[in-house]
Amino acid sequence: MKNEETEPGLSVDEFEQRLGRQSLRKIPAGWREEILVAADVNRRKPPVRELTFAATLPVLLWRELIWPCRRIWVGLAPVWLALLVFNVTHSDHNQPKTAKSTMPPGEMRLALQEQQRILSEIIGQRPPASPAEPPRRPNNQPRSERRTVALA
């Protein structure tokens, strides 16, 4: 197997031998304390809670809907405020809106019949006759039964 060169003129085996001959230095005391304190702090941190969809929904709405079109929303806000003010100032909340009839129902029916008669005279049509009767069936036999013809 061919040894790869790590430094110009050094093979991997030679590099490992040189590395093995070096003595390990001690970690400075300040570093050791910092590392242990950081490890202890990380161990004491509460676990990160998993966010639910309901918790992230306002952030998603803000980021996806409102923030990219913020100039449009800022322009629409005064329009909606003006519509709200107009609606509040021009509405009459004191009186309920109900349809009131000035004529009793019998007189109303007679007035409508009179209007229909006058309209038919103006147009030149005859007034409609009494309602037509439903058509009668020519034979009163049931339709589901068939007559069988016997061939002799």
Element (H, E) at 10: strand 10-11
> Among residues 98, 82, 99, which one has the least CA distance to residue 90?
82
In a domain, 21, yes or no: yes
Residues 14 and 39 in one domain: yes
5 beta partners: 11
Q: Based on the structure, what is the number of domains in the chain? A: 2
Residue 38 belongs to a domain: yes
pLDDT digits (tens), the chain, 152 positions: 444 545 567 788 888 888 888 888 887 878 888 888 887 766 666 666 777 777 888 888 888 888 888 888 889 999 999 999 998 888 776 666 666 666 677 788 888 889 988 988 888 876 566 666 777 766 666 666 555 555 55
Beta carbons within 8 Å of 11's beta carbon, 6+ residues apart: 3, 4, 5
Residue 121 lies in a domain: no
Determine, yes or no, domain membership for 29: yes
66: containing domain:
59-88
Residue 74 is assigned to a structural domain of this protein: yes
Is 79 part of any domain?
A: yes
